[in-house]
Chain A
Amino acid sequence: DAGVIQSPRHEVTEMGQEVTLRCKPISGHNSLFWYRQTMMRGLELLIYFNNNVPIDDSGMPEDRFSAKMPNASFSTLKIQPSEPRDSAVYFCASSSAPGPGDEQFFGPGTRLTVL
């Protein structure tokens, strides 16, 4: 298995632009999680899905952030419009268990820089 796949690995954009991050979970996993990691705030859970349904989006920082999971093998995290403070590494993780408390498999992350 290729593991969790994220694209792009690096993204540099200008303030105000729309950014879309993509994730393909491990086949057969029915939970998907989006995290953000910064030096100041550490690892934060933004949102997670179970069977393609958003379960908890309380970690999404603002309305500028949105996430979708149209099918079991694909999810997107969109930021529109982007701001410099959104610069971070965004991780996607998947799991065969229903919640964040069980073993999660993380992707390599997308490093986002907003100028």
Chain B
Amino acid sequence: LAKTTQPISMDSYEGQEVNITCSHNNIATNDYITWYQQFPSQGPRFIIQGYKTKVTNEVASLFIPADRKSSTLSLPRVSLSDTAVYYCLVEDSGTYKYIFGTGTRLKVLA
């Protein structure tokens, strides 16, 4: 089963760039890697997804190496409102089950 591991927590200051990495060793070859943001007492919210190399949208970038065994979510110039838990979601290559990562709690400091 795909083990999707992430750092438990990270602290950053406003205006800095934050990079959160997810390791997924048994990822399926033909599906997206997706990242979600979750605030307390709310459901997760889609941020970005990609298949390979680099994807950028208005809020984040996603970097995926050629072997796809990891992915890095990059948040440019974070603000206090980016304080949340961030999850990756991938499909396992053996079971084809979709597995959420362990989550990274980001705290942005003033």
Contact = CB atoms under 8 A, between A and B. Distances in A.
Contacts of B31: 99, 101
A77 B102 CA distance: 24
B77 to A, nearest CB: 24
Contacts of B41: 108-109
Nearest to A104: B46
Interface residues of B, number: 20
Chief secondary structure at chain A's binding surface: loop
Interface string A9-39: 0000000000000000000000000000000
Nearest to B33: A101
B97 A101 contact: no
Give the contact-size bracket for chain A.
20 to 34
A43 interface: yes
Contacts of A56: 97
